[in-house]
Every structure is written in structure tokens, then in C-alpha cells.
A and B are shown apart, each in its own frame.
Chain A
Amino acid sequence: MKSKTSNKVANSLDRRRFLKNTTLSSMALVLGTDIVFGLNLPKGMNILGLEGNVVSLPGKDGRLTILNDRPVNAETPPYLLDDKITPGEMFFVRNNGLPPIEVDVDNWTLTIGGESAKKEIVFTLAELKSKFKQYTYQLTLECGGNGRKEFNPPAKGNQWGLGAVGCAEWTGVRLKDVLEAAGMKSDAIYIGYYGADTHLSGDPDKEPISRGVPIHKAMEKESMIAWAMNGEDIPMLNGHPLRLVFGGWPASCSGKWLNKIVIRNKVHDGVKMTGQAYRIPCDAVEPGEKVADEDMCIIESMPVKSLITFPKTGGVISLSEQLPIRGHAWAGDQIVSKVEYSIDFGATWKSCEMANPVNRHAWQQFNAIISFPKVGYYEVWAKATDDQGISQPMILPGWNPKGYLNNACHRIAIKVNQ
């Protein structure tokens, strides 16, 4: 490290030392955007590196597991997802860029355009609320990479465990109604979104993410442009003041801080629609195999899955007690038809009681009461099956280069004492 200061690495070290020795306000003036974030941090924090342990995120419960703080990515431990409707402070966060600095709700607009729109049309938030009929649905959103952590060989990126999923009650308008107001040409096959978040590099010409869905998904009655979650403003980190919500598909389809929708005559080619992002091999591959971009297919409906939300893993009970278990199950565009549990590592399965979905794409509750035959270490496994007869695997499903769609059954550890 004794090299010339003209070296780029050394320069950035200098800059860093300089920052640490300067007051916050003068740093702000010198550096602009870096410090916009930094100004809100307690004094003394290591501003550039953000290496300090972030203990809570705005509007979020302090017990969420923070995987990354720039951009913010945080998941919810399963035992905190016990509510039928996931509260805003428990809803996971998967950001690709930096949320907008300032949200001016009164002047927020949504533009509908694109080559397959008959005309470009702009709505204010107030117009969306007054011109279109409002709907409320419970819709499940799950990150395409939920469960990535378990893949072997490991996949790059945020190592999501179990909790990048939630089901909230969303209020807004049907995307279908808004698209029809703009008018769609007959060659329309896809929609894409743009949001007000900014690329991590700060470059205003770069989009952090711009994905979308085929027209048939966009036209479903539960496909929404939403401004409220659980009867309140959507949390800042989840897209306030406006976002798309497509239940059952990778949550990255549901654009946040939404300000533009384009109607496309081809598959939308925005950032993270192409290459390997949110894609899996069209045909299954051996673990670790390299897959060419053209052999990767876009993920659509998510697979059947379930979570045990009570009890928390690591529970101890006595042999004289019966253990109630409960949780949620969901299945992308399908409905879950049964949930079973096993206490003998999958050798035998027993049925759980389960509820129908409140509406399409809402997760479904299950419960059971377990009697353990003798003392010892147990694992309780839950396995959901959808209405097509497709179940969760007990070991990892098909390996894929980016580590998507791990729906292996959820397991919790229980000890039964005398």
C-alpha cells in the first residue's frame, strides 16, 4: 500500500480518511448524495462503508434479519410471520436501488405509455383514486430468490433464508382498468414498469430495476396498482406511494415507487428482465453447470410452498404436552389443496387442517396438534401440495445458477423432554 497516491484504491482511502476527520455538514456539501443518506445517521457512524451493525430499518421491526444495507435487503424470521395478514413492519424488503429521497404524494404521477399503448396518458395519484373503482385483495409476494442460501454449489447474491415472503392486504385499482383507459393496441404482449428509485451508483441514467409481466397476468382481476397496505400507506421501503402487486409471481415483477408503465409489443427488455436475472434454465441442469443466457427462461408463477410460523424452531416441550403447530401455505397461481406434517423425517405424513384462500393469491392457513411418542430430538416438517398435485420436495429442488425457487419443505427443530 506504499504506492503512489494516484492509484485509485489509495485515492479512495484518502477520501475515506478525510471524511472521517470532517464534520457531517461540510461532508454533505462536498459529497452530495453520499451524505444525503449519511446525515440521518447518528454521529460517529462509519458513513461510507456502512459497516456499523444496522439494528433496525425505518418502519420495520428490529428483529428482521438484515442481509444488506445498501441496497436494503431484509427478511422476516418465520416465527414473526404468524399473522394471517403480514403487518407492514414485518414485511420483507428487497430493494435493488436506493428509494427516492423525497416522495411528493400530491404531485405524484403515473404515466401509461409504450409502443403498444394507443395514447400516452398521465394520472395523478388523486385521479387514480377517483377515476377507477378501488379494490382490496390479500396477495402473497415472495422474492424469486427466497431460500437461495441453501443451494449447493452456492449462488451469488443476497443469501435469503426462509423469510422473503409475506401476504398483506393491498388496496388500489386494477391494472387492467388503467391499461384499458390508455388503450392497448392488438400487438400488446407485455407490460414493463419504471420506478422513482435510483441506481446504487447514483447515475440518473441507469435504472436499478425495470421488470414486468405478460399481458395475461397484467389483466387478471387481482393484478393491482396499490397505494395502501393493510389500510395504511405502503411502508417507504416497500414502495410508498404507489406500486404494482402481482400475487404469486416473483416479487420483483411488482414494481415499487411506480411512476411509469409501458405496454410493449415484445417481452419487456428492462433492467433485470434479460441475461440471467430472475431466470432459470429452460431445461434442468446438473448442479454447478454453466448455462448460456439464451437457455435461461423467465420465472413466472412461483412454486408451492409453506412455512411453520408457530412454534419458533428450537422449542422444548415435555412429553405430557401436545404441540400445536400452524403456518401458511401458498402456490403461485395455483391453490394449495393440502398441507401435511411429518415428525419422522418424512417417513410418515399426517394431514393438517387448512383454510381456503380469502381470494386468489392469498396465502392459506394450516394447523395441527402433534403428540410425540417418546422423548428425544424431532424435526417437524411441513409439506404443501397444490391443486395440480404438485408438492414441495424435502431436499433442494432443481439447482439453477442464480439460486431461485427453493421450495424445499420447511423444518423446525423440537426437543421433547420427560
Chain B
Amino acid sequence: MLKVEGLKVAYGGIEAVKGIDFEVPDHTIATLIGANGAGKSTVLKSIVGLTKLSEGRILFDGKSLAGLSPDQIVSKGITLVPEGRRIFSNLTVVENIKIGAYMRRDDLSEDLAWVYDLFPRLKERSWQLAGTLSGGEQQMLAVARALLSKPKLLMMDEPSLGLAPLIVKGIFDIIKEIHKQGVTILLIEQNANLALKTANIGYVLETGNIVMEGPGEMLLKNQSIREAYLGKVK
């Protein structure tokens, strides 16, 4: 579905991503894991057009996304759940969700029912201001908002950020559920353990380079990854 070839991104003079290749096949959950500053978020931002890439190309369903603006990319079916949730806190939950459907002109009621079904909590709170939700609920809202754009590829930037372990587990269950319903997912995580357990395919990013790739389960068993990211003693 998504193919990234030789992607390089630089901020000012500093290269944050130094030429990486990876692929997200149809109907999979793919994950990019890596430490702080490895360039994970930058990769997602450049896919959705928020950051300009300096070299390389990004193919979505075989077509290049070069030169497209973020709104054009969203309307092609790629949606980003931004890092730190970035919900619109002074708007109600319902308004937030509807903004996700901004690019659509068709009837929303079916999809609204779908996300309310996924997140019953949001239905209860639909008239509340989004800023008054708890962190976990805000993350749910960010996901619900993204789902309303009917993405083929949903990209999530650190959905576990700042959430309690139990809530994180809930979020990951929902990610699996969304995946089951036919959405391809690209996940970025610091929580390598959970991400690799969830993902079909994983990539390890280190200071702008992909150093390892393979099925999630396999990476999980890999000795050096366990040492670097999972806190396993030698």
C-alpha cells in the first residue's frame, strides 16, 4: 500500500532521516520503533506532507505523493493521528470528530455510529468540550477523528504517549480492532514491546537509518533489540 524509497529529510542543515526504505503492505499493521530522535515522527510527517522531503519518493498504491499538499494526501486516504493527540480542546467532542470528516461530502451517520461503537465513552461525552476529557479519552478522540476521514492507511504517532499502562492496552486493542475492519495501520512507538507484539511487520530506526526489519514476533525475539529497547539484561 505504502512504499517509501530512499527517504531523506533535513531540518535546516541537519539530516533527521538519512535515506530509508520501507514498505507497508495492504492489510497489515506495520511499526517503526526507535529511541527519541531516531526520526520516527519526521517520517510520518513527511508522508502526510507536513514536512518536505529532501530526497527519495513515497508511493501510495503505486502512485507518487510528490508535490501534493496535506489536504490532497488526506483525500487520497492517508490520515495521521498526530503525536500528543492535538485534539481541538475548545470544541466539543462531536465537532472534533466531524472535523476529521472535513474532506468528505457524503453522509456521516454510518461512520459516526461506527466510531461511537468503537469508543462508547465518546458517545457519552459527545457534547463535552474536548479539553475536559482525560488523556486516554483524548487519545480515543484523536483516533476517532482520524477514522472519520475513512482512511485506507491510518498512521499513529505514539498513541501510548503519557497514558497509563491499562489505558495503553485498551488503545492497542482498539488498534487491532480497527485493523480487523480493514484499515492498514502504520504505528510509531517507543513502547517497542507492545508495538512489536501488535505489528505484523516491524522496522527499527536508529538515528535516521533503518537498522533492522522483519516480522514483529521475530524482532521481539532478537537479542540486540531486547537489549536496546526492551530492557532485557544480558
Partners in one complex: no
**Which residues of B pack against A, CB within 8 Å?**
none
